[in-house]
């Protein structure tokens, strides 16, 4: 007989999936998830889980975890019947989905607790370090042709040398997101260097010498590690650069490409964040006027690229339930890897594929969570 736990509607046979978020994310989720597009996916996940007979989902913060027993206090779960969030206590999750962006000792402690107790995570890594990721993918002959050359910057001379070989380069913090840690450098005809980055608005300046950049870079990067990556001559629509975000997942029978979005940046912006987005097949047709045959060929090339990158990342780091992959297509139609994301907010994905797309993506994620739980005894044995 299925026993029901009154507080959470959990049956004894269901898998407990815990989504790890911060206290402030929890607050936003509870109060105004409909208003904030960065929460749409979590809301879709909660809705999808509330219809799943095999799985119970709750959201919790590091502060909610009793790290001796694993019990969770003040977790948040979505009640479909009442259309409402409820707070509840729950036993330790059996699978963890990490969506927290803050880094501190408590988060580490909670992570360690789950690892020590063999609680599987949806993703093998909470984030990708752009330098290490580049190094790992360059060791794989299948993925190295997709990588723009990149180096770690230790001193200003490294940039100087890199700029001698490449006219346009991107400097990027090894761990960052939303284009916040990215500066574009371009050599100009007068041998000056133009730099641009986006902070509240587009900021562009030109300096005469590489040494004039020193204070700028010091302010921007502080003591953070960063890389220089060759600039990809991205396809453009007018003054807007175009790049792509793919949402890729591990499904029951292999890798699923849930959607690929074309993103158009603001005019002259070095990044395509704060952008409009649409499914890339539609973009190729409507904006680049590709023929049906050209679209088919491009889709095949992109799918080959995405599955190759995904498998290589799994070989290097371990299994992933989902990865957001950023890539560019250049003016020769070659495909280039930009970076991988292990906690995609799926904002462009929602703009392109709507709520139905989010729900389907959530469905696959939940299926993957169940499969991880089923695998667990075999791993222990
Ligand atoms: N090598 C590059 N060539 C061209 N554009 C780039 C390059 N690297 C980054 N960009 C642009 O900057 C954006 C942000 O860079 P990305 O590496 O994805 O960092 P973030 O972690 O901030 O998303 C990309 O989506 C792309 O538009
Ligand atoms: Mg990115």
Å from CA of 152 to ligand 1 middle: 16
For the chain, domain boundaries: 4-123, 134-145+234-342, 150-230
Counting ligand 1 atoms within 8 A of each CB, the residue from 146, 177, 179 with the most, and so the one to mutate, is 179
Task: Give 4-123's CATH code, choosing from 3.30.70, 3.40.50, 2.60.40, 3.90.105.
Answer: 3.40.50
Side-chain half-sphere of 74: how many Cα atoms within 13 Å?
Answer: 12
pLDDT digits (tens, 9 = 90+) for 278-331: 999 999 999 999 999 999 999 999 999 999 999 999 999 999 999 999 999 999
Q: Please count the other Cβ atoms lying within 10 Å of the Cβ belonging to residue 138.
A: 15
Measured from the Cα of 230, ligand 1's closest atom is 1
Tokens of 193: 């260097």
**Ligand number nearest to the C-alpha of 181:** 1
Pocket residues: Cβ below 6 A from ligand 1: 148, 170, 172, 176-182, 229, 231-232, 234, 243, 270-272, 326, 328, 338-339
Sign of dihedral through CA atoms 336, 339, 343, 347? Answer: negative
Nearest to 270 by CA among 175, 218, 204: 204
Nearest CA to ligand 1 atom 18: 339
Listed residues: CB within 5 A of ion ligand 2: 326
User: Per residue of the chain (381 residues), what is the pLDDT tens digit?
Assistant: 233 344 555 555 789 999 999 999 999 998 876 667 889 999 999 999 999 999 999 999 999 999 899 999 999 999 999 999 999 999 999 999 999 999 999 999 999 999 999 999 999 999 999 999 999 999 999 999 999 999 999 999 999 999 999 999 999 999 988 889 999 999 998 889 999 999 888 999 999 999 999 999 999 999 899 999 999 999 999 989 999 999 999 998 899 999 999 999 888 888 877 678 999 999 999 999 999 999 999 999 999 999 999 999 999 999 999 999 999 999 999 999 999 999 999 999 999 999 999 999 999 999 999 999 876 554 443
Distance CA 353, CA 259 (A): 8
CATH superfamily of 134-145+234-342: ATP-grasp fold, B domain (3.30.470.20)
DSSP letters, 56-83, are EEEEE-GGGB-TTT--EEEEEEEETTTT
Phi, psi of 90 (to 5 degrees): -155, 155
Cα dihedral: 45, 50, 51, 53 (round 10): 110
- Burial category of 322 from C-beta neighbours within 10 Å (exposed 0-12, middle 13-18, buried 19 and up): buried
């Amino acid at each position: 007989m299925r026993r029901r736990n009154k507080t959470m509607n959990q049956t004894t046979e269901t898998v407990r999936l815990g989504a790890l978020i911060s206290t402030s994310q929890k607050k936003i989720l509870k109060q105004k998830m409909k208003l904030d597009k960065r929460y749409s996916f979590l809301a879709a996940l909660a809705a999808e889980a509330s219809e799943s007979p095999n799985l119970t989902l709750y959201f919790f913060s590091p502060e909610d975890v009793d790290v001796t027993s694993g019990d969770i206090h003040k977790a948040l779960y979505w009640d479909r019947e009442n259309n409402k969030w409820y707070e509840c206590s729950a036993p330790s999750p059996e699978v963890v989905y990490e969506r927290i962006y803050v880094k501190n000792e408590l988060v580490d402690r909670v992570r360690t607790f789950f690892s020590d107790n063999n609680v599987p995570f949806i993703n093998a890594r909470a984030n990708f370090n752009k330098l290490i990721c580049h190094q790992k993918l360059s060791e794989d002959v299948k993925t190295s042709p997709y990588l723009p050359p990149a180096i770690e910057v230790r001193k200003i001379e490294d940039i100087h040398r890199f700029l001698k070989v490449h006219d346009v380069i991107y400097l990027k913090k090894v761990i960052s997101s939303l284009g916040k840690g990215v500066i574009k450098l371009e050599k100009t005809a007068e041998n000056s260097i133009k730099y641009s980055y986006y902070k509240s608005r587009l900021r562009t300046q030109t300096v005469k010498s590489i040494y004039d950049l020193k204070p700028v870079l010091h302010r921007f990067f502080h003591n953070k590690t960063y890389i220089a990556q060759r600039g990809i001559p991205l396809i453009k629509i007018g003054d807007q650069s175009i790049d792509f975000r793919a949402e890729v997942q591990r499904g029951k029978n292999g890798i699923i490409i849930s959607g690929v979005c074309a993103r158009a940046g603001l005019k002259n912006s070095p990044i395509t964040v704060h952008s409009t987005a649409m499914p890339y097949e539609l973009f190729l047709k409507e904006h680049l006027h590709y023929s049906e045959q050209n679209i088919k060929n491009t889709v095949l090339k992109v799918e080959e690229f995405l599955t190759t990158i995904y498998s290589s990342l799994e070989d290097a780091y371990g299994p992933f339930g989902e990865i957001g992959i950023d890539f560019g297509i250049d003016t020769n139609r070659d495909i280039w890897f930009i970076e991988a994301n292990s906690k995609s907010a799926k904002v462009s994905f929602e703009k392109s594929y709507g709520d139905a797309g989010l729900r389907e993506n959530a469905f696959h994620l939940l299926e993957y969570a169940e499969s991880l739980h089923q695998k667990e005894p075999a791993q222990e044995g």
